[in-house]
Chains A and B, each alone.
Chain A
Amino acid sequence: MKIVMAIIKPFKLEEVRDALTGIGVHGLTVTEVKGYGRQKGHTEIYRGAEYAVSFLPKLKIEVAVATDQVTKVIDAISTSAKTGQIGDGKIFVYAIDQAVRIRTGETDADAL
């Protein structure tokens, strides 16, 4: 079992969600985050005070999937979240030890 975690541009959320639903992934967690990579920030000026704002708003999506699904999920996210401009984001995959569905107590593969 793996978690596929993607940082994407916020306006891409609906497209990514639709793409994941299309390949049979029906649950995800979304967090609002800030960050930067190669995309530059901007300058904000408030009267005499100039601020260089380098942190940009992004969304972090996390989906828990079976290991054999990971490649399909990465492809779906990559295609739907891409704009071709700097700042499209990154995808990370990490292993999880256990999963539990709280309502029923199902574990591991049955919980995904």
Chain B
Amino acid sequence: MRRFWKELLKGFVVTNPLFILVLGLCPALAVSTSVDNALGMTGGVIFVLLGSNIIISAIRKIVPNMVRIPIFIVIISTFVTVVTLVFQAYVPALYAALGIYLPLITVNCIILGRAEAFASKNTILNSIGDAIGMALGFGSALIIISLFREILGTGSISIFGTHLFTLPVLGEHPLAMLALPPGAFLVIGLLLALFRRLGVVRSE
């Protein structure tokens, strides 16, 4: 049980998948334009990571080494497709906002990375902990990035339609570049440097 909590917490700082393991950068760059999108993406990632980690851990003893990657990918893409269809049916606004980045969760390196590095070699319980930790770690990293990008890049913040506040000066002349791809690289790069400077970097 202690192991479970240890796996869960490590995903937040020590081995944050985005800032320390530097995985999943592509969707992070694209989806962090607003806090709404970051939250939605996190929901999708939690579901897929949990599902794939559990299944892969459950079948780890019967999967021969040479076909493990194809099997992992089939399982992961099935989960992602299920999530995509469910989102499309029940939360169409979020589905439209995430666009192509929802199906792209399939090739999010975090999912396959954790399947290969952890779930295929650990018990189901610990794999659940790892999945929750990594997904929430990715999510919190995404939210931090999108807070910067949305507040500085558009001058205001809205969460799920409710407008929270607009900054006085930035509201009219926001740093629009931050909402665009170059801004994504800038913000993520700076945060990455910050994380490495402040955080504890332990290689796994």
- Indicate whether A and B interact: no
